[in-house]
């Protein structure tokens, strides 16, 4: 059994999708993290959905600092750099959509549909 994991990123300063943001996906175990993949958001702020077939704890790491350094809303030093979102996945419990709403100074996430 597999579940689909998806995410998208919205730049809340301008109200636009955050294109070309780097995102990493990690599997979190008791004593270590296992790197799974590195992605870049498209012009809609999205990455292709991923299939997960192991329940457990995962972490999406959003490279917010690098993204905002390329924009006109950059601050030095960056208030937010890497934004990790750690969440649990249970197989058979539907798909998981983990969006990020972000500015250089704050972020919000939720389990979407």
Confirm whether 113 is domain-assigned.
no
Confirm whether 19 is domain-assigned.
yes
Question: pLDDT tens digit string along 19-78?
Answer: 999 999 999 998 899 999 999 999 999 999 999 999 999 999 999 999 999 876 667 788
The pTM assigned to this predicted structure is 0.94
Q: Which residues are annotated as a binding site?
A: 8, 46, 110
Pair 80, 105: CB distance under 8 Å: yes
Q: Give the single-character DSSP code of 66.
A: H
Q: Count up the domains in the chain and report the number.
A: 1
Confirm whether 112 is domain-assigned.
no
Confirm whether 7 is domain-assigned.
yes
Confirm whether 61 is domain-assigned.
yes
Band of residue 5 on the pLDDT scale cut at 50, 70, 90:
very high
* pLDDT of amino acid 93: 80
Q: Which residues are annotated as a binding site for substrate?
A: 8, 46, 110
CATH number at 78 reads 2.60.40.180
Confirm whether 110 is domain-assigned.
no
Domain that holds residue 18: 3-104
């Amino acid at each position: 059994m597999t579940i689909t994991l998806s995410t998208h990123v919205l730049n809340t300063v301008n109200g636009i999708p955050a294109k070309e943001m780097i995102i990493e996906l990690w599997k979190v175990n008791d004593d270590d993290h296992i790197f799974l993949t590195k992605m870049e958001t498209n012009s809609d702020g999205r990455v292709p959905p991923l299939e997960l077939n192991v329940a457990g704890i995962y972490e999406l790491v959003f490279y917010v600092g690098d993204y905002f350094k390329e924009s006109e809303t950059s601050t030095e030093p960056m208030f937010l750099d890497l934004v990790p979102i750690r969440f649990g996945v249970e197989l058979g419990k539907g798909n998981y959509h983990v969006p990020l709403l972000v500015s250089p100074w704050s972020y919000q996430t939720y389990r979407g549909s």
